[in-house]
Structure 1
């Protein structure tokens, strides 16, 4: 039996919760927790070859792809080298969950257009400050994401026969 005092959400909100839950950083949150982010989210359209953000920019927002494709690239001697291609339902700009972070990659639209949901850093931090449980859940997801990336990096390094020195990471 449903609790008569529990909050009910519109069909549109429910669809947004389902969409968010599919993204890594929201997967642990309950509807009530995700609802805290809804007022701060806004939609933005981008066109092919438009840059969402550049490497070394301040991390001012988390992005979720509603439609389209984004390439995450790193700058290698005047060229952009794609490190990851992401599509609908995926999030990027994850280090906006951290305080005072700078972008580690450049995000470029590769589809004809892309519809993105933008969640500003300041809004994320406001939710985190007022609800440490939400912060803990999202930081756990972020830690798992970074752990998976480290595993891929080290596997790639082993398979590349040491064309670079991992020690350089810590210098």
Structure 2
């Protein structure tokens, strides 16, 4: 920021670049009524009104590609998605959260006419020391086991094995 670097305690576990983190945390208060459950029918002026379809509890959840909307969607999903029991389940949860805030080419054009888009998604497991990633042009999740990269002075060639759900490209 103009006055220097600011470090914040990330209490909801969502990283963001703009506006500052405390603003986003405070903004979540605007979404207290958003829920994964259906709204109940209500009576207005003697007429019973019913939700139009599934997802009525999500009404008000922002759908644009601003950092504000993406932060809210990521926090919503992180809060309401079931907890995973293992690394693979956590990877699937993280992948679905990030896919919900992914920016496709053409959706956002900068003031210099450049296309702003999500060029990759990545995940890291501190427990297994595995780095997972998917690029814009190859959405398949691949992984590198960082424990196998003990000698970083030697160049590594990664080979893709196409027979796993998650590709392991670590050269052992």
Q: Normalised by the shorter chain, which TM-score bucket?
A: under 0.3
* TM-score scaled by length of structure 1: 0.27
Q: Identify the structure with bigger relative contact order (alpha carbons < 8 Å, sequence gap 6+).
A: 1
More strand by share: 1
Larger Cα Rg: Structure 1 or Structure 2?
Answer: 2
